Amino acid sequence: MKKNTSNLPACKTILPRIILLIIACLLFWLARPNIFFDDGCSFLAWFSYFPVLYLIKKSSLGEALIYGALYGVIAYGLTGYWLQSFHPLGLIILCTGYMIICAFFFLVLKWADIISIKNGWLLQFFCICAYEYLKTLGFFGISYGVTAYTQWKFINLIQITSLTGVFGLNMIVIFPSAFLFSLIYKKQEKHRLLNTVDSTRKSHISAYVKKEQALAVTSLKLTYFCGAVWSFLFISSIIYGYLSIHQNNYDKYVTVAAIQNNESPWKNGIEEYSKNVKNLIQLTEEAQALSNDIDFIIWPETAVAPSIVYNYDYGTDVRRFMLVSQLLNFFDENNAVFITGNAHQVEFKSAEKIQYNSALVFESGKNVHPPEPGIYSKIKLVPFTESFPMKHIFPLLYVKLLNGNTHMWEKGDEYSVFDYRGLKFSTPICFEDTFSTICRKMVLNGSRCFFNLSNDSWSNSIPCQRQHLAMAVFRCVENGVPAVRSTASGVTCIINTNGVIEKAAPEFCQAYIIGKVPLISGNKLTLFTRSGDAAGIAAVVISAFILLIQSIIVIIKIIRNK
Whether 295 and 418 share a structural domain: yes
Residue 177 contacts residue 24 (beta carbons within 8 Å): no
CA atoms within 13 A on the CB side of 553: 11
Whether 294 and 163 share a structural domain: no
| 2 confidence band (pLDDT: 50, 70, 90) | very low
326: which residues sit within 8 A by CB, 6+ positions away?
Answer: 277
pLDDT at 387 over 80: no
| 6 confidence band (pLDDT: 50, 70, 90) | very low
Whether 41 and 84 share a structural domain: yes
Element (H, E) at 72: helix 61-79
Residue 295, domain member (yes or no) = yes
Taking CA atoms, 462 is separated from 37, 248, 277, 297, 491, in Å, by: 10, 31, 25, 25, 9
Active-site residue, from 110, 186, 226, 301: 301
DSSP of 423-475, one letter per residue? Answer: EEEB--BGGGGG-HHHHHHHHHTT---EEEEE--GGG--HHHHHHHHHHHHHH
**How many structural domains compose the chain?**
2
pLDDT of residue 4: 46
Taking CA atoms, 31 is separated from 151, 344, 445, in Å, by: 9, 38, 35
Tens digits of per-residue pLDDT, 56-66?
A: 999 999 999 99
Whether 422 and 539 share a structural domain: no
Whether 359 and 446 share a structural domain: yes
Q: Which of 445, 421, 272 is nearest to 339 (CA)?
A: 421
Radius of gyration of the chain (CA): 27
From CA 427, how far away is CA 378, in angstroms rounded?
Answer: 9
From CA 260, how far away is CA 90, in angstroms rounded?
Answer: 25
Question: In what order do the strands lie in the sheet containing 353-363?
Answer: 374-377, 353-363, 337-347, 296-298, 253-260, 511-518
Q: Let me know if 280 is exposed, middle or buried by CB neighbors in 10 A (0-12, 13-18, 19+).
A: buried
Residue 281, domain member (yes or no) = yes
Active-site residue, from 25, 102, 430, 464: 430
487: which residues sit within 8 A by CB, 6+ positions away?
Answer: 260, 300, 301, 452, 453, 454, 455, 456, 457, 465
**Residue 221 is among the residues annotated as catalytic for this protein:** no
**Residue 464 is among the residues annotated as catalytic for this protein:** no
Whether 485 and 545 share a structural domain: no
pLDDT of residue 86: 79
Q: Let me know if 46 is exposed, middle or buried by CB neighbors in 10 A (0-12, 13-18, 19+).
A: buried
36: DSSP letter: S
Higher pLDDT, 415 or 13: 415
Q: Which of 178, 193, 261 is nearest to 226 (CA)?
A: 178
Whether 166 and 307 share a structural domain: no
Tens digits of per-residue pLDDT, 13-46?
A: 789 999 999 999 999 999 999 999 999 999 999 9
Sign of CA dihedral 509, 512, 518, 522: positive
Mean predicted confidence (pLDDT) in 461-488: 96
Whether 440 and 554 share a structural domain: no
Mean predicted confidence (pLDDT) in 207-223: 70
Residue 422, domain member (yes or no) = yes
Residue 198, domain member (yes or no) = no
pLDDT at 393 over 60: yes
CA atoms within 13 A on the CB side of 190: 14
The residue range of the domain holding 321 is 255-379+414-519
Whether 169 and 264 share a structural domain: no
Taking CA atoms, 439 is separated from 267, 448, 528, in Å, by: 31, 10, 11
Residue 142, domain member (yes or no) = yes
Instruction: Indicate the average pLDDT of the chain.
Output: 90
State the pairing for strand pair 337-347/296-298: parallel
Which residues, listed in sequence order, are joined to residue 374 by a DSSP beta bridge? Answer: 361
Whether 347 and 276 share a structural domain: yes
Taking CA atoms, 553 is separated from 67, 176, 548, in Å, by: 27, 29, 9
Long-range CB pairs of 386-394, under 8 A, 24+ apart, other chains included: 386/357, 387/139, 387/411, 389/139
Whether 550 and 427 share a structural domain: no
Active-site residue, from 186, 378, 380, 424: 378
Whether 113 and 26 share a structural domain: yes
Q: Which of 299, 403, 414, 410 is nearest to 345 (CA)?
A: 410
Residue 407, domain member (yes or no) = no
Residue 227, domain member (yes or no) = no
Residue 452, domain member (yes or no) = yes
From CA 499, how far away is CA 511, in angstroms rounded?
Answer: 22
CATH code of residue 367: 3.60.110.10
**Residue 11 is among the residues annotated as catalytic for this protein:** no
From CA 280, how far away is CA 300, in angstroms rounded?
Answer: 10
